[in-house]
Amino acid sequence: MREIVRRVVVAICLYGGIALCLTPARDLFQIEPVDWLREVGERQQHSENIKGMMSKYVGEEQVKDIDLASKTRGKIPDYIAYETEGRLIVVSGTSWEGLWNDIEETVTNKAPSKAWAAVRGLEYHSNAVYLTRTAPLFQQVNAQWPDQSLLAYIRIDPEDSKIAPRYLSVYEPSPSDLRDAAPTHILYPHRTYGALILFGGLLFYIFLPRARPAESGVFYLARAAGWLPDLLAAFGSGAFFAMPFLITSDSSGGPLDRDWWPLTVIMWGIGAIFASIFVITAWYQTRRLTWDDNGICIETWGFTRRNFPLDKIEGIGGYIQQMPQWLRVLAWVISIFNWRATTSAILLDQADPGFSISLSNGTRYSFTGQGLWGANSLVAWCDAHNIPVEPAVRPLMESKPDFQPSKAGRVVSIIFAVIALVGTGWPLMHVAVGAMPQPEPKFRSGSFDAQDDFGQIPSETKQPVAPPVDQPLGASKPPVTVTPAMLAAEQEIIQQIQKVRDEIKTLKSQIGTVANPNEAAIDKSLEAVSRLRELQKQLEAVRSGKLPEKSSGNAK
């Protein structure tokens, strides 16, 4: 009975621990304080980098008028309005001001507490923190979250009207976004408990006392018939059970998502085949045959006993356990076309000879010979009670002596246990410690510091407004009266510019290298750059009050 309990507990710990270790958090916000000046500078620098790369292939003259960061060339408030359009959430209060202060201090290496430092992003994502969206302060954000958007901006209006508002960018990351960005204890909040459950299952399997072998009887010794099959069952079923969690990590429903049901059913079905080894091993280890002067007793699963008197026993004959013939033939046919399958074909073709006990009602109880002990004493008991034993099976049974405990077997068992603990237990403890849950950071009330320049929008007289690409520094233009026709023409041209920019981005990956250029892609890039330059000129003309004679949609 204890062998069944051993494997049931191990299976529960194995699959439960894997599920906890691989289930990612799905209610996180990636929050970053926005420094608009830095963002404008990065976008303008990115535009210059792209132009520099393109100029190597199409020439500087073709790209000098191209501006991929035209939206940043005006005033900062205009750029902010463009970026936050349709996804701006406005909040106020000392709680929000205190939150912004804590986040800003954390990403600038001045975290107010260890709890805040623990939620900071890793490496290239160290300018953001990761917080659960279930926090009370974020209820307003959840209620006003923009439809069909993964990104929102929070504008925090300070109580002091003399201080400019601050902005937070809030992003809903997927598990794949979090793998290299968020600390492990945030990405996998239950991993420590899963690792401890896995380690607990290993300890239970090793240290649960095994039943003392009987002095007489036919049985399969636990150490001889259980350790390696259980190891195969654990690794095989565990691997296929874990695959759906890894493959569907970006899905909201995980392995149970309806779109992933076919994959999950197949993977877990293969895992169930490996898990059946637990059942087979438990059956062998609990199967026992004992006898006395009245007859024999066959025990299975540790609690099912069947007693058969002497007059019901007809005799003992041979028995061979072997895979079905169609499976063996199929394996050899496959090995003809793929030599790597030869080893599997040889293993499937092997037979395990044993013996079977025939009863007067036609029932047969069979025992395979591999790992069997005590069959020679059964032969002697049969001879003493005039029960016939077939001559062909007698040598096999006589070669199975009664079990005698040995120090060598105990040493091998100890070595196996030590290897299992060191090889599996130590990595599990390392995982458990590395993903140890951390206390949630406390949200403090506060107010903005007027002396802190981070994230502030400079006054109009001081902000570094970059001129349009075709306008020299210091130049000014007379005011232009904006008409509906101008707005419609401007919008149409902007849409075309965006399409051409997307085309250039696609062609960028197809240009090739200096040593192996793609001439067709270069020609298309040259044509796209020419169209973009023409559209830029049309856009500037429209903004200066000159409507095109023809619709800008005809520009090619």
Residue 537, classified by CB atoms within 10 Å of its CB into exposed (0-12), middle (13-18) or buried (19+), is middle
Q: What is the pLDDT of residues 181-238, one digit of tens each?
A: 889 888 899 999 999 999 999 999 888 887 776 667 888 865 545 678 888 899 999 9
Element (DSSP H or E) covering residue 466? none
Location of structure tokens 């409507």: 547
412, pLDDT greater than 90: no
Mean pLDDT, residues 90-112: 91
Q: What pLDDT, on a 0 to 100 scale, did the predictor assign at position 425?
A: 83
At residue 215, the pLDDT reads: 66
Distance between CA atoms of 291 and 217, rounded to whole angstroms?
Answer: 7
Residue 553 clears pLDDT 90, i.e. is over it:
no
Structural contact between residues 262 and 279, judged by C-beta atoms closer than 8 angstroms: no
pLDDT in tens, 274-322: 999 888 888 888 888 888 888 888 888 766 788 889 888 888 988 888 8
Summarised one tens digit per residue, pLDDT across range 352-371 is: 888 899 998 888 888 888 87
Q: In this predicted structure, what is the pLDDT of residue 192? A: 93
Boundaries of every domain in the chain:
24-184, 289-404, 484-544
For the cut 50, the answer to whether the pLDDT of residue 461 exceeds it is: no
pLDDT of residue 252: 65
Predicted local distance difference test score (pLDDT) of residue 68: 80
Q: What is the pLDDT of residue 466?
A: 42
Considering the chain, what is the average pLDDT of its residues? 82
Provide the terminal-to-terminal Cα distance of the chain, rounded to the nearest Å.
81
* Cα distances (Å, whole numbers) of residue 390 to 216, 319, 337, 354, 382: 22, 11, 42, 12, 11
Model pLDDT, residue 133:
87
DSSP, collapsed to helix, strand or coil, labels residue 99 as: helix
Query: Tell me: the pLDDT tens digits for 542-551?
Result: 777 777 665 4
pLDDT tens-digit readout, 161-188: 788 889 999 998 888 888 888 898 888 9
Amino acid 222: pLDDT: 55
Distance (Å, rounded) from C-alpha 537 to C-alpha 55?
A: 19
- Does the pLDDT at position 116 exceed 90? yes
Confirm whether pTM is higher than 0.85: no
The better pLDDT of the pair 225, 154 is held by 154
Tens digit of pLDDT for each residue in 506-515? 777 777 665 5
pLDDT value, residue 275: 92
Least confident of 59-63, 161-165, 257-261, 417-421: 59-63
What confidence category does residue 463 fall into, taking pLDDT thresholds of 50, 70 and 90?
very low
Residues 6 or more apart from 118 whose CB is under 8 A from it? Answer: 183, 185, 438, 439, 441
Percent share of the chain, pLDDT over 70: 87
Whether the CB-CB separation of 406 and 375 falls below 8 Å is answered with no
Confidence of residue 266 (pLDDT cuts 50, 70, 90): very high
- Hey, is 553 helix, strand or coil? helix
| Better-scored residue on pLDDT, 328 or 487 | 328
pLDDT of residue 239: 93
69 or 31, which is more confident: 31
- pLDDT greater than 80 at residue 114: yes
**472: which 2 tokens?**
């020299």
Q: At 474, is the pLDDT very low, low, confident or very high (cuts 50, 70, 90)?
A: very low
* Whether residue 476 has pLDDT greater than 60: no
* Residue 527 · residue 503 · CB < 8 Å: no
- Res. 481 pLDDT band, cuts 50 70 90: low
Of residues 245, 164, 253, the one with CA closest to residue 458: 164
- Residue-level pLDDT at 39: 86
